[in-house]
Amino acid sequence: MQAVVQTTSPEATEEWAARVGRTCVGGEVVLLVGTLGAGKTCFVRGLARGLGHAERVVKSPTYNVMHGYAGGRLPLDHFDAYFVRDVDEFARTGLFEFLAEGHVAVIEWADRFAGAFGADVLEVRLDVVGETVRRMEFRAMGEHSRARLASLGLPTTEVGS
Ligand SMILES: Nc1ncnc2c1ncn2[C@@H]1O[C@H](COP(=O)(O)OP(=O)(O)O)[C@@H](O)[C@H]1O
Ligand SMILES: [Mg+2]
């Protein structure tokens, strides 16, 4: 299931991400795909807010693979896959145990490890359309993610249709 939305400001991208955050109950994986500057980290900032984390600095954890945000309604684990070589590197951070404990995981550059994060995932593809315009494509795989995407109220289509 797929849905597309265009945003015209970082705040608007954050707001959609916050809505996604509010659909989480723990154990969700959000995959972020998009070039440098597309808005992946901006999305994480909104996601954190939607998970009940107070306003604070969210930046790419590029050089330490994972940055965990405790507290909030649900803990958030923020990953950057850019310099990760294999899935074991994710596993060693505790990613899968954290998910089982009810954390939410968000992974920048996730397309480098397509399929490694289970069958029920929400993928967000960000594309630069203009200086302040971004195209966001949501792709939900699995029942839980599909239901969450449907609850955002955007018009949805089936992938490939
Ligand atoms: N509509 C928009 N949505 C998200 N970011 C935007 C938008 N318009 C401009 N920007 C800018 O684009 C940049 C996105 O940076 P960032 O989120 O760090 O990207 P990435 O993590 O994908 O490299 C920020 O400087 C942000 O202010
Ligand atoms: Mg980033």
Q: What is the pLDDT of residues 117-151, one digit of tens each?
A: 999 999 999 999 999 999 999 999 999 999 999 99
Q: Cα of 39 to ligand 1 centre, how many Å?
A: 4
Tell me what the mean pLDDT of segment 55-69 comes to: 75
Ligand nearest to the CA of 43: 1
Confidence of residue 159 (pLDDT cuts 50, 70, 90): confident
Cβ atoms of 40 and 9 closer than 8 Å: no
Amino acid identity, position 87: V
For the chain, first and last CA: distance in Å?
10
CA distance 98 to 146: 22
Strand partners, 29: 105
20 in a structural domain: yes
- Please, what's the largest Cα pairwise distance for the chain? 41
| pLDDT tens, position by position, 69-123 | 998 999 999 999 998 999 899 899 999 999 999 999 999 999 888 889 999 999 9
Query: 153: left (phi > 0), else alpha (psi -120 to 50), else beta?
Result: left
* Nearest atom, ligand 1, residue 8 CA: 1
32 in a structural domain: yes
Domain extent for 50: 6-75+84-103
11 in a structural domain: yes
Sheet with 2-7, strands from edge to edge, namely 2-7, 133-141, 121-130, 29-33, 104-108, 76-80, 66-69
Q: Cα of 142 to ligand 2 centre, how many Å?
A: 26
> CA torsion angle for 49, 152, 120, 83 (degrees, to 10)?
-40
Q: Give the closest residue (by CA) to ligand 1 atom 17.
A: 39
Bridge-based pairing state of the strands 29-33 and 66-69? unpaired
Burial level of 119, CB count in 10 A (0-12/13-18/19+)? exposed
Count of all residues that appear for the chain in the document = 161
Q: Cα of 112 to ligand 1 centre, how many Å?
A: 20
Per the structure, the count of domains in the chain is 1
Ligand nearest to the CA of 136: 1
* Nearest atom, ligand 1, residue 36 CA: 23
34 in a structural domain: yes
110 in a structural domain: no
Which residues have a beta carbon within 5 Å of ligand 2, which is an ion?
A: 40-41, 60
93 in a structural domain: yes
Radius of gyration over every alpha carbon of the chain, rounded to an integer in angstroms: 14
155 in a structural domain: no
For CA atoms 59, 119, 15, 19, the dihedral sign is negative
| pLDDT tens, position by position, 6-37 | 999 999 999 999 999 999 999 999 999 999 99
> CA torsion angle for 141, 144, 150, 156 (degrees, to 10)?
10
